[in-house]
Structure 1
Amino acid sequence: MKRFYIGLVATFCVYAIALIIYFLKGNLFKIPLELIGTSADPHTFMTTQEITKAESLSRIRSLAFFLSTPLQMGVLLALLGTAIKFRRIAERLFRASFLQIVVFVLLFTLLMDVLLLPIDYFLFKIDQAYGLSTETLALFWSDHCKDFLINVLGTTVIVLIFKGVLKWSPNRWWLWFWLVSIPLILFVTFIQPVVLDPLYHDFQPLQNQELKAQILQLAARSQIPADQVYEVNMSERTQTINAYVNGIGGNARIVLWDTILKKLQPDEILTVMAHEMGHYAERHIYLGIVYGIALSFIGFWLAFHAYRSFIRRWGSIWGIRGESDLAALPILLLIVTIMSFASAPAQNAFSRVIEHRADAYAMKMTGDGNAAIRAFQHIAKENLSPVTQPKLVQWFRGSHPTILERILYFEQFDKR
């Protein structure tokens, strides 16, 4: 085991050095020569300092992403022995299986949270240093505690369902667990706008009545069942700008960050909102759910075989009793983390397709390519986002087309 962990650390160090060299080398954000001086060239709407900060921040965030994921995997492996101790504590405290699960999940989630907290805090301080975050330390801790409690509650429910399904159907639990996950996903998507989001943010009706009427007119044309537009107080957390339409059915909510109201012109805001409404009108939320469910079907099947193989081959080394042992939870989380990382390119490729579709919908609704170009120039400037990204970053982190690609698309309508 000692050799195994030494090898693991050595492999991670080589991987980390290779990533650092890659992200610190040369110009990763170079645009084609023929686009220099055009509306897609960041030098035409951002200062040199802003461009430098945007590229530097992108390097740091990408490096943190590619390092933190395998680091989390290593932490899960390293905690297998600790998971055994937590299981023993839970069994000594309670006889009831439900209470044992609650104690185990609470202890294990708390330990993981403490070990990975430095990464969250580092990124929080980075955003402050680059002038994007206005979040106070008190607000950071408040959000973090809410995340922790929701995570504990959600994990407890999932573990309870998992153990019940595993006991009922040891050889088909992956299929039944997949089927149970479908209504859970729909339930969370339904309650998010009215239950989860208000836990973090203060929502108020949009005060600009003229803009509200224009947005609701767009919503009516998009057949969105909404009679209200909300603005959310994000300026207490960030200087960045955003807007969205989320929820399903009658729970759909149209939301603008107060920062976008302050920094964009009304015609620019309308093109952004038309894009967001495109997701709803073209059923992208449902398509995303269906795509996720299909992908998770494959994922559950692979996880079942990987989990069973791991337990049978190496479980006894750590003292794991079997597949239903609470102490095996880190193994399941490890498999899920690996699969989530490996499937990121497929998930992002799908996301980029529907984001482009939403851009096309926005142009169909407004036909205002010039306003869309200005809106995304502001987004690049205010959010410190490079207009292009390296292929590796776009594959694993690029849920949207690059700003350069989107501006070039909007130019077609501007020329018309």
Structure 2
Amino acid sequence: MRKRWPLWLTLALVVYAAGICLYFTFGNLYAPSPQYAGTPADPGTFMTPEQIHKGESLSRIHSLVYFIATPLHAAVLALLLGFGVRLRNRLESRLRSSLLRTALFVLVFLAVIDLLFLPLDYVLLRVDRGYGLSNTPLSTFLFDHVKDLGVEWVSTGFVAIVLLWLMKRSPKRWWLWLSVISVPLVVFVTFLQPVVLDPLYNKFEPLHNASLKGKILALATSADIPAHQVYEVNMSARTNAVNAYVTGIGQSARIVLWDTTLNKLKDDEILVIMAHEMGHYKEKHIYIETAVGIVVTFALLWASQRLLEQFVRRGGHRFGIRREGPDLAALPALLLIVTMLGIALTPAQNAFSRYLEHRADAYAMRLTGDGDAAIRAFQKIAKDNLSPVKQPPLVVWFRGTHPDLQDRIVFFEQFKK
């Protein structure tokens, strides 16, 4: 039985994948609510049948990949536990420096996982390009993966070095000290993201449209938001979708518009979207999400410490993981535990995110009073992003960080009336 667990795990994944394929292949999952037929929330009033079909098909594909790839990622971590032990043994036989061993262990392990899932990411790229949503060339796609790996290696490697040191110093309380250390790290990374990390992938420039910039800054002034600059980013080199966001904290806070948004939406529609983003800033959602994230991190690490301790004590020796002292080979097991707990928490996190997004929508209406522009903006977003206005419950629970477009349009219509 012990030697056959990879086979049973593979069979379970096959059965699960077959069920997910049946769920997303058949059935009218994306039908809009009948009571909104003929209203602005009915996609038939602003999208062609072809656009509706393409949006639903694309959503089925992305959801299918998500619901298969997520447990597959956890399964791969489980299957790589033995590889982690062999990698640890080889590094210990050749390197004396524990820091260098940890850094190389993390790099090799992350690179293996990235290479295993690279074909799946490439398939999604081809699908998005086939549906006219992505413009990303293969060279950019591969270079982005290299940059992702580099950023992940630096961040994960640093955490792994600190974690192993804490495990050695405090075997029972490392989760507490790591949680405490994570607080300033999260704040620091949030501050750095718009000025250091984001420019690694895209080019940011001050908004060229002086008239629109003046309107946005005037809107920010009326909301008592100390904004002095608005940025545009050249996302048209990668995608035809539209989006905008506010990122960073303190002096690094930025209002950012995709150039696709500037090209496809009218000024009043852009102002409503900007008012939504200002709602996030005004209601301090980034601080709230950071605070909630810190609390969740404490709970997650506490549970992970206990589960890892039980795993190493009862079954770690079967894989070659040592019970004494911190072991490099235990890091994949810890990552697996954190991954599984993260999947379990996803529905609650998404529900909280949808609540904050609705709050931002309500703020945008209070600030602009323009329900008509909001309706037009989100109808165009549905068309240009090929987004179904209604998603099935399973997708809402695990992928829905924003309310359904149908619910948002209905809210704007009610405000308009």
Aligned to 2:170: 169
- The superposition leaves residues 52-72 of structure 1 with CA deviations (integer Å, 9 ceiling, x where unpaired) of 010011111111111001111
Shift of 1:32: 2.0
Aligned to 1:358: 360
Amino acid in the other structure paired with 1:292: G
SS of the counterpart of 2:304?
helix
- The superposition leaves residues 216-235 of structure 1 with CA deviations (integer Å, 9 ceiling, x where unpaired) of 11222333332111110000
Shift of 1:351: 0.2
Aligned to 2:53: 52
Question: Whole-Å Cα distance in 2 between the matches of residues 222 and 155 of structure 1?
Answer: 39
- The superposition leaves residues 15-47 of structure 1 with CA deviations (integer Å, 9 ceiling, x where unpaired) of 111111111121101122221111000011111
SS of the counterpart of 2:236?
coil
Shift of 1:413: 2.2
Equivalent runs, 1:217-232 vs 2, <5 Å: 217-232=218-233
Give the one of 406, 409, 412 matched to 2:408: 406
Question: Whole-Å Cα distance in 2 between the matches of residues 52 and 324 of structure 1?
Answer: 53
Give the one of 371, 384, 387 matched to 1:385: 387
SS of the counterpart of 1:245?
strand
**Paired residue total:** 415
Aligned to 1:288: 289
Equivalent runs, 1:84-233 vs 2, <5 Å: 84-233=85-234
Aligned to 2:347: 345
Question: Whole-Å Cα distance in 2 between the matches of residues 179 and 66 of structure 1?
Answer: 33
Q: Any stretches of 5+ residues in structure 2 without a counterpart? A: none
Amino acid in the other structure paired with 2:50: Q
Question: Whole-Å Cα distance in 1 between the matches of residues 181 and 39 of structure 2?
Answer: 51
Is the CA contact 1:29–1:389 (under 8 Å) kept in the aligned structure 2?
A: yes
Aligned to 1:37: 38
Q: Any stretches of 5+ residues in structure 1 without a counterpart? A: none
Aligned to 1:332: 334
SS of the counterpart of 1:235?
helix
Is the CA contact 1:225–1:250 (under 8 Å) kept in the aligned structure 2?
A: no
- The superposition leaves residues 275-317 of structure 1 with CA deviations (integer Å, 9 ceiling, x where unpaired) of 0111011000000011111122211111111111111111101
Identical aligned residues as a percent: 54
Aligned to 1:275: 276
Question: Whole-Å Cα distance in 2 between the matches of residues 10 and 84 of structure 1?
Answer: 25
Question: Whole-Å Cα distance in 1 between the matches of residues 31 and 150 of structure 2?
Answer: 43
Amino acid in the other structure paired with 1:4: W
Is the CA contact 1:20–1:63 (under 8 Å) kept in the aligned structure 2?
A: yes
Question: Whole-Å Cα distance in 2 between the matches of residues 54 and 264 of structure 1?
Answer: 19
Shift of 1:106: 1.3
SS of the counterpart of 1:230?
strand
Question: Whole-Å Cα distance in 1 between the matches of residues 224 and 298 of structure 2?
Answer: 32
Give the one of 396, 399, 407 matched to 1:397: 399
Amino acid in the other structure paired with 1:83: G
Shift of 1:85: 1.6
Is the CA contact 1:243–1:255 (under 8 Å) kept in the aligned structure 2?
A: yes
Question: Whole-Å Cα distance in 2 between the matches of residues 2 and 386 of structure 1?
Answer: 45
Greater mean alpha carbon deviation, residues 379-388 or residues 109-118: 109-118
Question: Whole-Å Cα distance in 2 between the matches of residues 297 and 223 of structure 1?
Answer: 34
Question: Whole-Å Cα distance in 2 between the matches of residues 393 and 288 of structure 1?
Answer: 22
Is the CA contact 1:225–1:252 (under 8 Å) kept in the aligned structure 2?
A: no
Question: Whole-Å Cα distance in 2 between the matches of residues 3 and 215 of structure 1?
Answer: 62
Q: 1:270 to 1:373 in 2, by over 3 A?
A: same
Question: Whole-Å Cα distance in 2 between the matches of residues 279 and 119 of structure 1?
Answer: 34
Aligned to 2:267: 266
Q: Give the alignment's Cα RMSD to 1 decimal.
A: 1.0
- The superposition leaves residues 228-276 of structure 1 with CA deviations (integer Å, 9 ceiling, x where unpaired) of 1111000000000000111001111011000000000000000000001
- The superposition leaves residues 296-353 of structure 1 with CA deviations (integer Å, 9 ceiling, x where unpaired) of 2211111111111111111101111136110111101101110111100010010000
Shift of 1:199: 0.6
Question: Whole-Å Cα distance in 1 between the matches of residues 252 and 38 of structure 2?
Answer: 44
Amino acid in the other structure paired with 1:53: K
What's the TM-score, normalizing by structure 2? Answer: 0.98
Amino acid in the other structure paired with 2:340: I
Is the CA contact 1:245–1:255 (under 8 Å) kept in the aligned structure 2?
A: yes
Greater mean alpha carbon deviation, residues 91-100 or residues 226-235: 91-100
- The superposition leaves residues 187-222 of structure 1 with CA deviations (integer Å, 9 ceiling, x where unpaired) of 110000000000111011111111000111122233
Question: Whole-Å Cα distance in 1 between the matches of residues 127 and 182 of structure 2?
Answer: 36
Amino acid in the other structure paired with 1:63: L
What's the TM-score, normalizing by structure 1? Answer: 0.98
